[in-house]
Structure 1
């Protein structure tokens, strides 16, 4: 598996081809998810080929946005299936990568530890200090799509989302759950 080479290709592609109105689903988000997935994986004892597959899934998980937001997870899998054989990934590895990508679909329903790690990494920011900074980017993006029209609606949406969300891995629960609850309370205080 030639991860380094495919990472360069995909990050370059996302940097130059993603629509500019995607202030949240950006190259910065992809890099953040790769970093969070790598950290959670280390804490959960994942290494070797499994770590490469996880990092690859993190790299590809939002590439579907190159072709629109609707069903972007499935589009991301299609892109992975198209590109990864040329970088030494076999069909069973690509199937596992697609399982991880699909585990990021909301509502999340991961079926194994690697899928749990990617699901947690994708929403790692919910339990971090930069939650509101990153949330502002998502608010901006959703406004462009007409999904929210004002801050009140956004805060109501966030409360619903945060209340329904839960982390899966022991690591994310230990490191992010408490801060996520604090972030949720800050939003509730605004309403």
Structure 2
């Protein structure tokens, strides 16, 4: 499936906020790369890639409502926004439900129940480590504690020269 309409919707949603736009585009590309290398089936890859695009959709409402956008607030505020956008774009109900579940847990590192969930965590972590200016020690710790896929571990080790 071509995600261009969803990318454009998310870019409009975050119009004027290039940092957020750059973030979800990078997470999408890492998720896609890991998903392909790990051999995910087409349906699971579609869910993963869709979730990667909308994973941080809760930030804007969290900032408006609470004046901050910590991970748990993103998880709380994201699913209704993701559901609305994906419904408007014609995505099917089972996909929307799984994507909303992933959005509601993308900062929760326990109870991972599928490769789409694991890979979303890894892709987001790769980008967050870089964007936060993490050093090698932080990256090594994350690589050891969070990463489970061989592709994600390899990317983390390569990016941070571990």
In the superposition, the TM-score normalised over structure 1's length comes to 0.66
Q: Which runs of 5+ in 2 are unaligned?
A: 64-68
1:118 aligns with 2:120: yes
In structure 2, the residue matched to 1:12 is: 12
Q: Which residue of 2 is the match for residue 27 of structure 1? A: 21
Match of 1:185 in 2: none
**Bigger-Rg structure (1/2):** 1
Question: 1:34–1:58: 8 Å Cα contact kept in structure 2?
Answer: yes
Deviations along 1:153-177, whole A, 9 cap, x unmatched? Answer: xx8xx58x74883202221123324
Check if 1:40 corresponds to 2:34.
yes
Aligned equivalents of 2:14 and 2:111: distance in 1?
A: 26
Matches for 1:79-90 after TM superposition, within 5 Å = 79-90=81-92
Q: 1:32/1:178 Cα in 2 relative to 1: closer, same or farther (>3 Å)? A: closer
* Partner Cα distance (1:112, 1:29) in 2: 23
Task: Tell me, yes or no, if the aligned pair for 1:30 and 1:62 is still in contact at 8 Å.
Answer: yes
Count of aligned residue pairs for this structure pair: 152
What value does the CA root-mean-square deviation take over the aligned residues? 3.1
Q: How far apart are residue 31 of structure 1 and its match?
A: 0.9
Q: Does 1:54 align with 2:54?
A: no
Stretches of structure 1 that go unaligned for 5 or more consecutive residues are: 139-154, 183-191
Q: Distance in 2 between matches of 1:178 and 1:115?
A: 22
Match of 1:66 among 57, 60, 68: 60
